[in-house]
Structure 1
Amino acid sequence: MSETKKRPLIIGVTGGSGSGKTTVSQAIYDELAGKSIMIIAQDTYYNDQAQMTMAQRKAVNYDHPLAFDTDLLISDLKKLLNNESIEMPVYSYSEFTRSNKTVRTEPRDVIILEGILILDDPRLRDLLDIKVFVDTDDDIRIIRRIQRDMVERGRSLQSVIDQYLTTVKPMYHQFIEPTKRYADIIVPEGGENTVAIDLLTTKVRDILAHHGK
């Protein structure tokens, strides 16, 4: 009889916008190059808003838990955990809704799930084997967000500041920061914390070795 395929390992990486969670996720991915590994961004699972007008779409609070199709994300993760492929949605930032396209995604031995609210829903939290919270000061996060949104997304300085003050910062303190208590590991200063990243990747290598991978 052939050996039953081992359940994939899921690492959840969360933190506020601009905290460095994407950098940490990419660093783990790079350190484990050559292994069977993938990154899933929670942003991919923003709600399908095709039935809404553009004005309505732009008015959505994208830092609120209800902005995400968490049921679909959980369903897809369970399929991957069962070593089944999924049709991952594609989100269009220019259209503020889900694209008609999907990406066929095969399961991997290691899945890194990164996003601002992956520890908010207990159903999602319970699927994560290692939970990481990237903890970065508010002032550093707003500076990073200004740089990113102005350069990469063509936003004006005033629009970035207005959004930060009206939704991003309040939602961080209401929904995101409280999930820090669920984290197994808290990483200060994001991707610059090479010691934390080394510890994480060493732990993952040990788990994979135990599974014979």
Structure 2
Amino acid sequence: MWRFIDMIDDMIKGSNDQYATRKTLIARVQDQQNERAWEEFIEIYKRYIYAVIRNMNISEADAADIHQKIMIKLWKHLPQLDINKITRFRSYLSTITKNEVLQFIRSSKRRVAREEKAANDATLSYLDNIRLPDIDKIEEKEWRIHLTNLALKNIESLFSDNAIRVFRLSITGLSTEEVSEKTGLSISTVNTLKSRVKSRFNTELEELKLDLE
């Protein structure tokens, strides 16, 4: 998994902070009457936000509640957001997520205290195991994976099933020989297909990074 993440990280860094984030979707979503833009925003960011929450050792049920509160908060606050003061929108999302998780922990501990539960109660243990200090690492890892999945989804219609399968296998860290063995394709064919998809994939990653970060 980490080899995969490192490979994707190298690809994503191809378009770095020298480019200004265009924030076109964010600007459109600030108009609360633009339902289409909001639907697009949710489709793009909901899985990423949920993945970050779940990776903080938060249960599925609690993650769903926190996720819903974050989306409502974004809908309310985005119209007032000065996007020109935001260096990276992803960092803004991380801050919103962190604050909502902190609020969840505080309110949960207050509830436990009111109910006078024992200090070794499973609920307290669960709350103490939430990985809040790791949120920066968590959101970075999940963003790489999320961006990769978006890019692949956007370009898969441009290539054959074999080409997409070859590329997906290659970015998991498999060697050309291993991909060849799994797909039944020759090594030269694997190299050709991987090269074709990689070029378009890198372009798509750069465009997504500019648009969504």
Fold shared, TM-score > 0.5 on shorter chain: no
Question: What TM-score comes out, normalization by structure 2 length?
Answer: 0.26
Give the number of the structure whose alpha-carbon radius of gyration is greater: 2
- Is the helix fraction higher in 1 or 2? 2
Question: What TM-score comes out, normalization by structure 1 length?
Answer: 0.26
- Is the strand fraction higher in 1 or 2? 1
